[in-house]
A and B are shown apart, each in its own frame.
Chain A
Amino acid sequence: MIYSLCLLLILVGLYGVVASRQTVKIVISLVIMQHGVHLLLLLIGYRSGGSPPIVDPGQVITTFAGLSVDPLPQALVLTSIVIGLGVLALMVALCVRLYERYGTFDVTEIRRLRG
């Protein structure tokens, strides 16, 4: 159920990238899609009713592994969010520069390259 919601989020993002004409909207759609993927990654490591993946002092490592959610996807998502932020900053900077040059955010008017 929740997996299909993730998929929906990814597809909404994908639709936005394909269908919108504004550069800024394309950027926002990409971010939505990225976060859909992040949620999917988190869900894969999730276990309902699991404890946070922090070892209590004195806890045996095998019982800990049986109780907690998987910490690895969380670390991955954290990394991926940071990468996403870098890409987002670059994309927004490009949008601003494109607006300075072409005077528009409309991708159908930003068409000098062809062939």
Chain B
Amino acid sequence: MFDVDIRVLIPLFVALPLAVALLTQLAARERPGLAGLLTNLTMLGLVLMSCLTIGASGLYHLGGWPTPIGIDLRLDSLATLLLLVINIVGLAVALYSVDYMRRYTASSHFYGLFLLMVTGMNGVVLAGDLFNLYVFLEVAAVASYSLVAFGCAHEELEASFKYIVLGSLSSALILIGVALVYGITGTLNMAQMSGRIAETGMNAPLLLAFGLFICGFSFKAALVPFHAWLPDAHPAAPAPVSAMLSGVLIKAIGVYVLARLAFNVFGAGDSELSLLRWLGVLSMIVGGLLAAGQSDIKRLFAYSSISQVGFIILGLGLGTPLGLVGALYHLVNHAMFKSLLFLNAGAVEYATGTRNLYRLGGLNRALPVTGATSLVGSMSIAGIPPFNGFWSKLIIIIACVEAGFYGFAFVAVAISIVTLAYQLKVQRLAFFASLPDSFRDLRREPLLMSLAMILLAAGCIALSFLVLGGLRDPWLIGAAQETLSAGPF
């Protein structure tokens, strides 16, 4: 296509949003509308760049220093997959924000923080050593703490405080883990580390470090015993931010890092993976059941995120190639449909001013685009056959059966049915039924918001073709195989 050296692009994934984050603040002083435009152009650029990295892999030494001394940025097929997801969802969210954020004062600060969050997530995905991963993780996390509190109302501040306390706690656990691993292996570079761990095998201190990482990143991924902050933080944020948090943040700084550490760095055995399986199953059950009882539309989606991340972690915990393919596929799918659903919820709130399901109704007529796209999102997440969610859940369930975990397979099927139930509840209460009189003359959703939702809905439908052989092999199987082949990735 283009004759670009991929290695030049790698640092730009971090540098470009970081630079523009600063630039938006300066530009917004002159022309307030400029911040949104700059953000959208940047996200478009990042999407194009991540398309260019498809099929490529490479290593970039920051400042030209060789591996053990300098900082590495690494690109492989797993990283490419995550980069595509982060930046495509990011583009849709940036488009959506242009209209949605008009209601807030100081929306230029929103764009700055949003770009910082993207910087952090791209950095986590590309980081080649454990400490830089921690630094980028904190960049993304700090930006997300302040985005949750963006509205400065009672609930938002409370949710943000809860989030920041639990987030700092988990970061401290992760830092202890980093310190331990550095003390044992004498290196922070993940490729070197995995080599040295493979030599010594898992001993007690390494096991402790692995346990600390599991705890820390389970907080970030909101797996069940560590999930308390998510149902508060995700609904409190403005809708585009909720979409970003639930859609990609918990995966980029939680699930991705867990997968990377478990398979590439520690080469986890079955006893360690069983921990992941149980965490996954617990999240699936608790998240799913709690979601069914919610009346706040965004809170329902937040609990549903916990449940769906449980599916992903269960797939990872199986440790088989098929399980990993299912997990990665479900990760990509969930990023698409959950961010779509949060944008739908935002459009509903934007038009009607309420998120309570029992006060809504008949919105299919008032908000046709939101209604249609949310139907796509709901059917995808519930696993109705032609849509993407069906295929990824099917692969995870088959992988469970193949690995001999019949109980887990049964739970996965049962929770899929629960998912269908609460999605039907949303559809019936909010979009079908009859339109209350107070909503007779609602305005349609603005153009850019519709465009963002249609983009993500199209993404959901397009992703269902990923199950076909020609597309599946290079994308999912490639990433899964590269992840499973331990050693220097």
Contacts and interface: CB of A to CB of B under 8 A. Distances in A.
Given A40-B176, A44-B183, A94-B157, A87 B168 contact: yes
Contacts of B349: none
Contacts of A87: 138, 142, 145, 164, 168
A33 B294 CA distance: 36
Contact of B131 (A37, A44, A76, A94): A76
Given A30-B169, A90-B164, A112-B154, A79 B294 contact: no
A94 B138 CA distance: 18
A113 B232 contact: yes
B28 interface: no
Contacts of B299: 115
A17 B158 contact: no
Interface residues of B, number: 36
A37 B176 contact: yes
Interface-central residue, A41, A110, A113, A115, by most chain B CB under 10 Å: A113
B155 interface: yes
Given A33-B172, A83-B138, A90-B146, A113 B152 contact: no
Interface in A90-105: 90-91, 94-95, 97-98, 101-102
Contacts of A26: 165
B419 interface: no
Nearest to A39: B179
Given A33-B172, A80-B175, A113 B183 contact: no
A86 B139 CA distance: 10
A67 B155 CA distance: 55
Nearest to B162: A113
Interface string B127-155: 00001000100100010011001001111
A34 interface: yes
A41 to B, nearest CB: 4
A73 B172 CA distance: 15
A113 B158 contact: yes
B160 interface: yes
Contacts of B178: 41, 76
Contacts of A86: 142
Given A30-B165, A112-B154, A37 B138 contact: no
A72 B179 contact: no
A102 to B, nearest CB: 7
Nearest to B187: A72
Contacts of B183: 44
- Residues of B contacting A: mostly: helix
Contacts of A41: 175, 178-179, 182
B465 interface: no
A98 B169 contact: no
B188 interface: yes
A112 B158 CA distance: 8
Contacts of B165: 17, 26, 30, 91
A65 to B, nearest CB: 12
Given A87-B142, A94-B149, A44 B157 contact: no
Interface-central residue, A76, A86, A95, A110, by most chain B CB under 10 Å: A76
Given A37-B176, A76-B131, A79-B135, A101 B169 contact: no
Contacts of A94: 149, 157, 160-161, 164
A40 B169 contact: no
A10 interface: yes
Interface in B287-316: 293-294, 296, 299
B328 interface: no
B155 A112 contact: yes
A14 B146 CA distance: 23
B146 A110 contact: no
Given A30-B165, A37-B172, A44-B179, A101 B138 contact: no
Nearest to B145: A90
A1 B232 CA distance: 41
B449 interface: no
A3 to B, nearest CB: 10
A23 B154 contact: no
B454 interface: no
Given A113-B158, A113-B162, A113-B232, 19 more contacts: A10-B176, A30-B169, A33-B172, A34-B168, A34-B172, A37-B172, A37-B175, A40-B176, A44-B182, A79-B131, A87-B138, A87-B164, A91-B168, A97-B157, A98-B161, A101-B154, A102-B154, A112-B155, A112-B158
11 contacts: A37-B172, A37-B176, A41-B175, A73-B182, A76-B131, A91-B168, A94-B149, A98-B157, A98-B158, A112-B154, A115-B231
Please provide the 10 A-B residue pairs with the shortest distance between their CB atoms, ordered closest to farther.
A44-B183, A41-B179, A113-B232, A83-B138, A37-B175, A94-B161, A101-B154, A98-B157, A30-B168, A97-B157
Interface of A: 10, 13-14, 17, 23, 26, 30, 33-34, 37, 40-41, 44, 72-73, 76, 79-80, 83, 86-87, 90-91, 94-95, 97-98, 101-102, 110-113, 115
Interface of B: 131, 135, 138, 142, 145-146, 149, 152-155, 157-162, 164-165, 168-169, 172, 175-176, 178-179, 182-183, 188, 231-232, 236, 293-294, 296, 299
